[in-house]
Amino acid sequence: MKRTSVTIIGMGPRGLSVLERLAAAACARQLPLDIILIDPGECGAGVHAARQPQHLLINTLASQVTVFPAPGAVAHAPVCATPSLTAWAHQQGYRRVGERYYRLGGQGGCDLTDGDYLPRGLLGEYLGWVYQRIAAALPAGVTLSHHRQHAADLRRRPDGGFVIELESGYSVPSDFVFLTTGHGSNLPSDFDAELVKFAQDHARHNSRLAFVRHVYPVERLSRIDAGARVAIQGLGLSAHDVIAELTVGRGGEFIAEEGGLRYLASGREPRLTLCSRNCLPYAARGVNQKGLDGRHQPRYFTPDAVDALRRQALIKRGSRQLDFDRELLPLLKREIGEVYRATPGAAAIDDDALFAELLFPLQDRQFASLDEFRQYFRNWLRADLAEALRGNLSSPVKAATDVLRDVRATLQAAIEHGGLTPASHRKFLNVYHPAFNRAAFGPPLRRNQELLALLDAGVVALRAGPGCRIAMDESDSTYVLSTKFAGGVEKQAVDVVVIARLDAFFPETDTSLLIRNLLKRGLIRPYYNGVFHPGGIDINRAGQPLDARGEVVVNMWALGYPVEGAHYYTHALPRPQMRSRQVLDADRCVAMLVAQIAENPRRASRRRSAAQVQTHSTL
């Protein structure tokens, strides 16, 4: 059998899943492959760099994180050991000392538990370990090479293969390509550009003035002066990273006391305030009472129910597209309502009122003043923490909102590949998706305990409320937060604005040279549901990109963030014992590749010259 070259562009967790499935297929089928990896960083970790502060946490239980398929979920077994993140950390001798983790080899500290949320650096170390184990277990007929550069361009060859141009100008020929580039960044908006220019023009009048558009790596926040007035826009997971870096990262410390935490300031912290559209934090994750693989089994909001609605829609309207509000939301409300009412201690409440209370607590709520909102914010935070401590089975609130995590497969079946009408798709992403994230995909409860302690210590102070706007004060050389309350407008001057959120992937505004060139060559096109562009590139149901003419780009697949648009919620890592989307996507694409190799046994050999071999390291 002739040799086949396969290139993976982007070696974060998605690329790692593809490599894992390629290795399993190559071992089971005795495939002679040349696997080429293109990524400027270490393979496996992606944005989860191993070298980052331990106060940056993952927001998923470590025991519920893996890279590997569940037993029986795929045809070909992995080529190496398959521990979860927690099992790996145990094997490596990690133990907890206070809120930090060290390799103590079983001596001292506390044992890790299934309820630990580990530092993101340990996740990066685990992903790097997985890569090394897979690379070491590759069969003799497979070569593996890694180009530590960005891909800059990609061209089709007449024979159906590709040539990938690296940023150095070096070209890499390949028969097949996987596009798994992960997180990206967008060009600044017009308003972003105004904020940047304001900081540049007024720096001589206010040396603390700064606009931080991207917070990762968090080390860039070290340029923020102690004592500077800092507005953090966003109250989600990235905001907690920013808060941790500007408090614990500045030498502060949280002290455990009866009833919660107390913050001991170092004196080097900036003065922090929070602002966002709702100005309400993400709800804390409930203490896990479901075990490693426990989940609610839906009765109403199911993929079968979605299929039935599509058949009805086709008969009535001649289209299989659904309206989320009118056709799907009643089923979801019923699912959530039944779980809530089945939990001991639940209050009597109908489905509509419950859904509004859990997902949209600020709906139709007016605040007379900033002080009134501050009191509401604290009360909400304390009440949510009390529910989180009760657990995701014992608390009616946490049991109900956890349904949103457990029915993710149904949401994907409802939304993906134009499953909703364009108007409904737009509303879902603008209204429901943020609410689902805030209610069900929030941080470990400790993060909100820390936020409460920082409010008590005065390190974080609420100086804005719902609907806050950012403006610029030319005379004072400061940014200004402005919030309208019933009793008047509240304004607060700040020196620094930090945008604490990740960019969605929009191909036409992405900063990647590779993406811009793929668009220019017509090898990819933005995904549109009718007239609505939710983001991502267009793909068919097999995961293959569609070019500018709508034709399939054969021998190429895209997975993860590049296709967040045609797909929904692509970034979740696999869970042990479950048929996880990330693994199944990679397995399906690799199976197609193997089938194409089998159909083309006379594929020309792509032999590399000695000069080519010398330009990269081969494992």
Residue 76 confidence (pLDDT): 96
| CB proximity list for 314: less than 8 A, separation 6 or greater | 320
Alpha-carbon gap, residue 90 to 84, rounded angstroms:
10
Q: How many whole angstroms separate alpha carbon 32 and alpha carbon 18?
A: 17
Q: What are the φ/ψ torsions at residue 16 (nearest 5 degrees)?
A: -65, -40
From the centroid of its chain, how far is CA 92?
26
The confidence score (pLDDT) of residue 602 equals 52
pLDDT beneath 70: ranges in the chain: 1, 601-619
Q: Count Cα neighbours of 547 within 13 Å in the Cβ-side half-sphere.
A: 15
Burial of 319 (0-12, 13-18, 19+ CB in 10 A): exposed
C-alpha 134/C-alpha 236 separation (Å) is 34
Q: Please enumerate in sequence order all residues whose Cβ is within 8 A of that of 379, keeping only pairs 6 or more positions apart, or say none.
A: none
Q: Is 176 left (phi over 0), alpha (psi -120 to 50) or beta?
A: beta
* 162-166 and 151-156 strand pairing: antiparallel
The CATH homologous superfamily of the domain defined by 4-91+120-186+504-618: FAD/NAD(P)-binding domain (3.50.50.60)
pLDDT of residue 597: 93
Which tokens in the block code for residue 143? 């070569």
Contact 89, 112 (CB under 8 A): yes
**Tokens representing 342?**
């089945």
pLDDT score at 611: 27
66/69 Cα distance (integer angstroms): 8
What SS3 class is residue 296? coil
- Is cis: bond before 217, omega within 30 of 0? yes
Amino acid at 449: Q
Q: Which CATH class is domain 190-275+450-499?
A: alpha beta
User: Minimal CA–CA distance to 470: which of 458, 461, 478, 479?
Assistant: 479
Query: Which pLDDT score, from 0 to 100, does residue 47 have?
Result: 87
C-alpha span between 491 and 370 (Å, rounded): 10
pTM of the entire predicted model: 0.93
Query: Per-domain residue ranges for the chain?
Result: 4-91+120-186+504-618, 190-275+450-499, 303-440
Common-topology check for domains 4-91+120-186+504-618 and 190-275+450-499: yes
